Amino acid sequence: MGPFFRDRFHRALMAFLTLIVTIMWTSSVTADDCRRVSNILVLFDASGYMREKDRYHLFLQQMGFFEKAMPVTADGFFNVGIRHYGLKVGMGCDNTESILAIRPWDPERFLNSFPRTISYGVSALSAGLRAAADDVSSAQGKSIIILIGGGIESCKVDPIQTAEQIALNNTDLEIHTFQIGSDPEGRFYLSGIASKARGTFNRGDSFQSPAAWYTWMKRCLVAPCGPATPTPARPPAGQAIAPVTFDYKSFSVKSQEAQADAQNAASLAAVARALHEDPTLRVVLHGYSDGKGSPEYNLKLSQQRSEAVARILMKTYKIPAARISVNAHGMSQAALQGPGAIDDRMARRVEFEFVR
């Protein structure tokens, strides 16, 4: 090959390599822009409570769904760690142990870290929370704790107060809870922990597939990005509009509770006013249910609730159908956050998301 052709070949090769590096770098930047969470710590209940009624098998099933949903959601985005509480008999109220340090996501190592059998250890939920907070405190970037289990506390400690203190000391940390079983005390503790620590409370039995975990991950772990994603927009007042809430088993916007009925009317009027004042706005209606009944029933009911709100906006307020989108979520996967208890009425809701 002559010098002329060698020079042209080398220039072409260097240009090609430069292009590849640029594409890879741009892809990584785009991916980072989509990530709102860097570190996930799974804190799971391995106490004697989980051994009863095959609850631990249900937990392992959920972790299988989690593992399948992770790469679909955002493969490679997260560092993941695992800690248990309640596995070791004889450890008493210090019963907690890290079994996988926070490190880049590895699906095989993740699933293999969980013990296949468990014993009758003490449910030291508060100790597990404190240790999990220590685990994530040294991690770089935003962290969340996924707490999944029965929610039982055996050590005469208030885990809600523990979570509140953790949240005060770690202002960027979120704790999201998933209940296995239906113990009322467990629901009380887990919903309270999520409320105090900027997280969401979820019923484990409403997650029956990887798709359910994927939906939750997209909502709570990944920030929208890219030119094809609509830009979130605020209503003119700059404040969130309260959701429309529903009576039990109802998809009528009219409520038998006078206060709720008045709030629903005010919310619908505010949404219509925002849309009339800004012709570039669209609204997405997110429908939820309280999880009582089968997943199929709840999904249908949340769809009917979203459609009922859409009909009011179209018929009463003359909003064109093209400016309204409906999104049914079924069983409530993200209970409203804020002060006060999370009640069933707030789970039976349609939320408003403004986009352009």
DSSP secondary structure string, 159-226? HHHHHHHHHHH-TT-EEEEEESS--HHHHHHHHHHHHHTT--EEEGGG--SHHHHHHHHHHHTB---S
d(C-alpha 269, C-alpha 262), whole Å: 11
d(C-alpha 263, C-alpha 252), whole Å: 14
Contact 79, 111 (CB under 8 A): no
Residue 28 lies in a domain: no
Whether residues 209 and 116 share a domain: the answer is: yes
Residue 293 lies in a domain: yes
Three-state DSSP at 51 gives: helix
**Domain termination site, one of 157, 188, 220:** 220
CATH number where 263 lies = 3.30.1330.60
Whether residues 167 and 291 share a domain: the answer is: no
Residue 5 lies in a domain: no
Name, in order, each residue with C-beta under 8 angstroms of 356's C-beta and a sequence gap of 6 or more: 230, 231, 233, 280, 281, 282
Whether residues 269 and 319 share a domain: the answer is: yes
User: Which residue's entry shows tokens 């509770």?
Assistant: 257
Residue 12 lies in a domain: no
Whether residues 38 and 183 share a domain: the answer is: yes
Whether residues 279 and 171 share a domain: the answer is: no
Structural domain including 305 reads 244-355
Whether residues 260 and 313 share a domain: the answer is: yes
User: Which residue's entry shows tokens 């403004």?
Assistant: 354
Count how many domains the chain has. 2
pLDDT along the chain (356 residues), means of 10: 52 46 34 68 94 91 89 72 91 91 91 90 94 92 94 92 94 94 92 93 85 81 58 52 88 90 91 92 89 85 93 94 87 45 70 86
Three-state DSSP at 39 gives: strand
Residue 175 lies in a domain: yes
Beta strand 201-203 with 324-331 is: unpaired
Whether residues 200 and 86 share a domain: the answer is: yes
Q: Residue 346's pLDDT is what?
A: 75
Whether residues 183 and 294 share a domain: the answer is: no
Q: What are phi and psi of 355, to 5 degrees?
A: -135, 160
**Domain termination site, one of 205, 220, 235:** 220
Residue 225 lies in a domain: no
Contact 121, 87 (CB under 8 A): yes
How open is the CA angle 51-55-56, to the nearest 5 degrees? 65
Beta strand 143-149 with 349-355 is: unpaired
Whether residues 56 and 128 share a domain: the answer is: yes
Whether residues 282 and 136 share a domain: the answer is: no
Q: Residue 335's pLDDT is what?
A: 42
For residue 82, count other CB atoms closer than 10 A to its CB.
Answer: 23
CATH number where 156 lies = 3.40.50.410
Beta strand 244-245 with 79-85 is: unpaired
Whether residues 39 and 111 share a domain: the answer is: yes
Residue 2 lies in a domain: no
Q: How far is CA 195 from CA 31, 50, 151, 185, 339, in A?
A: 29, 24, 14, 15, 7
The DSSP bridge partners found for residue 317 are none
Residue 95 lies in a domain: yes
**Domain termination site, one of 220, 236, 270:** 220
Residue-wise pLDDT for 197-212, tens only, equals 999 999 888 888 887 8
Whether residues 252 and 188 share a domain: the answer is: no
